[in-house]
A and B are shown apart, each in its own frame.
Chain A
Amino acid sequence: MSKDLIKPYGDTLDDGIVQLSFTLPVENGPKAKKAAEIYVGKLNFEDIHVVHAQKIADNFTCFIVYARAVPTIDYSAVKVKVAKFEHIDFYQINDLIKKKIGRPISLVGATIGSDAHTVGIDAIMNMKGFKQDYGLERYPQIKAYNLGAQVSCETLIKKALEVKADAILVSQTVTQKESHINNFTELIERLAADDLKEKFVLLAGGHKINNELAVKLGYDAGFGPGTVPSQVASFLITSILQKKGK
């Protein structure tokens, strides 16, 4: 396979231009600017321009730097795992459920652990939806149960069993001290302990979530920022059909 070497693009191919912004815990001045330049040099950049240095607090200076990146990568060798599904719309999804499954699918969603943010789960599940894309509650062929925030794993699993859910959606917004990873993991461990993991399609969502991370944690897929409900529904239907071998 031929190599396809790439590096950042500013305004000329392979110029390697990168913009950086960071803070150093020092007072602003010529010495601080020099320190920023040296630091960026240590990151292996060349042709470094510290274009802006600003005191943002006592003993803290923020910099804006432009520099040329040195390394190239072979784009043809880049591999990434993405959730495989065709993105279809609201009507197509409802149609497909009707025709191929013959009953409405059921799902439960929640923000688990101490996280109090419903913004993620609401964007996907609430009737209204997100970015002009209807939420899952609006789908006639989907019975969607949004349990809200601060839901324990036990409650979520109990509800999933009670409504015979096909899928479980979990969202995490707070990521301080890796709390989202711990919460995502706790749910997987509990499901595994009760031998329930294969029973549901498991989806993880949140602004620090991508498909790769979610799959690594044991979910079927992960959805990051900007995801609209129909993407989630498209994945769900694909995945449920796969499980059924249809």
Chain B
Amino acid sequence: MPHILLKSAQVNTVKKLASSIADEVQQFVSRHSSVSVERTVLRLYGVDGVDSSGTPLPNAIVDRWCANGEMGGGISRPFIKAMLKSGKDAQQTARLIEEGKIGFDKLGDLSQETVRKKEKSRARQAIARLDSSRKRKAEKIRKIPLPVQPWRYLIVATGNIHEDVIQARSAVYAGSDIIAVIRSTAQSLLDYVPYGFTTEGVGGTYATQANFKIMREALDEASKEHGRYIRQVNYASGLCMAEIAACAAFEDLDILLNDSMYGILFRDINMKRTFIDQYFSRLICARAKILINTGEDNYLTTSDAIEDAHTVTASQLINEAMAKKAKLTDDLLGLGHAFEINPAIENAFLYELAHAQLARELFPKAPLKYMPPTKYKSTDIFFSHCMDTMFNLSSVTTGQGIHLAGILTEALHTPLMQDRFKSLSSINYIFNIARSLGDEIEFKKDGFITKRARQVLDETEKSLEEINDIGLMEAISQGRFANIQRPLDGGRGLDGVFEKGADYSNPVMDLLEKD
């Protein structure tokens, strides 16, 4: 790969600043939990399905528990007590609670020791379930190898999971390595995970455990057929980050969009809520080896890709630091960035190379997620195809990890099957003819690209210092990212946040943090 000589002292400085920023957020996170974290505990204990009115059982149970008023202790202990009382498994116990046959207020006097023991053993089983997903995936990849990077990432979004399968198969045939099923519009704002397979969505298909399973089976078949392991992606950002991570782990998903910053800025999710949810979600991802993708690329859709390039880098560094606190390793960090510079600017491609190379060198082991042009995508599909081709060249030259396919018609409509094929044809062509270009070129020591990368890093350092002084939450309130201001107590989901009591119990989280 080509190199830009970054000052290693400066790299250390920015990483330290990011870590200090993440520390402050983590202190807040450690003192709080949320309804969706608690619902995740129930899911990990084995609660699934819906009640008679169609409400997911984890919601129904947590709602009853909340109504009880004493939330500080967490759902684990009272639910385990109910299990001991019923003598049934988690699912049957949840049914009994939902039917009103067991109440949280009448659990009687079980010895603390008995409850704690049962909690621990239930938590260990939950962890074992995450471990077995990780092992199953490793075994699949041992048999069917992963393709070389950049991995070609394609989105399907028909609304109907069965139709998605047809689209996904055609994308794999055309060369795709990763299939993402984009969610139905605004699912990120739902405070529950829909249940069962679904055939009606707008702008995408609902993320449900059943839909995950249907796509995973199809992709397993496609992997065998084409001799390369096809990774499956879904989206966790929103009000159910940890629950979706659990469902994704159960069904052996490989990648989740998992980014609070994105939720706060672009979906107006309350920042306290989503930082809390993100932490548990990422702990689950780390354990099940689900690669996370972050959404920094989106910043450049609202702010300028040259002027504000440093906000992307700063956010990547902060996201890396927060991910490490949740035990995610470098190989699981799909930090986001994008090719979004105005195509009319002279030397725009040089800027793009500088930005892409900077990300590559700051996170050398991370499978960076690189997004195609969207903001300046033209309805002139022929011109758009040219833009995507240059994006493909930048990606392979700078050795990006996860390459989102840019599609010539994306400024027009949900891409047609033939549009995806054309997109992949260009990617295959460019990746093949320029495969080793990056190994052959060096950037001039004081040339345009090197200077530009250093400038962005300087601006990043300055920006991180300021954020470190005021704290990340305040920085977001001030609109430091994407030119969007989000107040501390604004947005969706704050009512689901509560402070942990001295007796708070979440043995799954304890085990995930310990090992």
Residues of A within 8 A of B (CB): 21-23, 54, 56-58, 60, 62, 114-116, 118-119, 122-123, 126-128, 131-132, 148-150, 174-177, 179, 207-208, 225-226
Per-residue interface assignment for chain B, residues 407 to 432, with 1 indicating a CB less than 8 Å from any chain A CB and 0 otherwise: 00001111011100100000000000
B238-275 with Cβ < 8 A to chain A: 266-268
The reply to whether A56 and B421 contact each other, CB–CB distance below 8 Å, is yes
Taking the closest CB of chain A, its distance from the CB of B425, in whole angstroms, is: 9
Nearest CB in chain B: distance from A151 CB, A = 10
Given A207-B379, A207-B412, 16 further pairs, Cβ under 8 A: A23-B417, A56-B173, A56-B421, A57-B421, A62-B418, A114-B202, A114-B203, A115-B185, A116-B267, A118-B266, A118-B301, A122-B302, A126-B303, A128-B303, A131-B342, A132-B342
- Asked whether B463 is an interface residue with its Cβ less than 8 Å from the other chain, the reply is no
Assess whether A57 is in contact with B202, with CB atoms less than 8 Å apart.
no
Expressed in whole angstroms, the Cα–Cα distance for A226 and B377 within the complex equals 10
B136 within 8 A of A: no
Give Cα A191 to B286, complex, Å. 50
**CB-based contact B483/A23 at 8 Å:** no
Is chain A's interface secondary structure helix, strand, loop, or mixed overall?
A: loop
**Closest approach, in angstroms, between the C-beta of B493 and any C-beta of chain A?**
14
- Chain A residue numbers with a CB within 8 Å of B185 are 114-116, 174
Residues of B with Cβ closer than 8 Å to A?
A: 159, 166, 169-170, 173-174, 185-186, 188-189, 202-203, 266-268, 301-304, 342, 344, 374-375, 378-379, 411-414, 416-418, 421, 483-484
Interface of B is mostly: loop
Which of B159, B301, B414 is packed against the most chain A CB atoms within 10 Å?
A: B301
Q: Roughly how many angstroms separate A226 CA and B378 CA in the complex, as a whole number?
A: 8
Question: CA of A118 to CA of B166 in the docked complex: distance in angstroms?
Answer: 30
CB-CB under 8 A from B411, the residues of chain A are 207, 225
| A-B CB pair tally, cutoff 8 Å | 89
A148 and B268 contact, CB distance less than 8 A: yes
Whether the Cβ atoms of A23 and B303 lie closer than 8 Å is no
> Do A60 and B159 have beta carbons less than 8 Å apart?
no
Q: Which residues of B contact A226 (CB under 8 A)?
A: 378-379
**When the two chains form their complex, are residues A119 and B266 in contact, meaning their CB atoms are under 8 A apart?**
no
A10–B169 Cα distance when bound, in Å, is 37
* Cα of A148 to Cα of B374 in the assembled complex, Å: 18
Q: Which residue on A lies nearest to B307, using beta carbons? A: A128
Given A62-B418, A226-B379: A116 and B169 interface contact (C-beta under 8 Å): no
B170, B202, B268: the one contacting A56 at CB < 8 Å is B170
Please list 15 pairs of residues, one from A and one from B, whose beta carbons are closer than 8 Å in the complex, sorted by A's number: A22-B418, A23-B418, A58-B170, A58-B173, A115-B185, A115-B203, A118-B266, A118-B301, A126-B303, A126-B483, A128-B483, A132-B344, A174-B203, A176-B159, A177-B159
Q: Pick from A132, A150, A208: contact of B186, CB below 8 A.
A: A150
Q: How far is the CA of A208 from the CA of B379 in the complex (A)?
A: 10
> Could you tell me the distance between the alpha carbons of A62 and B267 in the complex, rounded to whole angstroms?
38
- Partner among B170, B189, B202, B268 whose Cβ is within 8 Å of the Cβ of A60: B170
CB A84 to nearest CB in B, in angstroms, measures 23
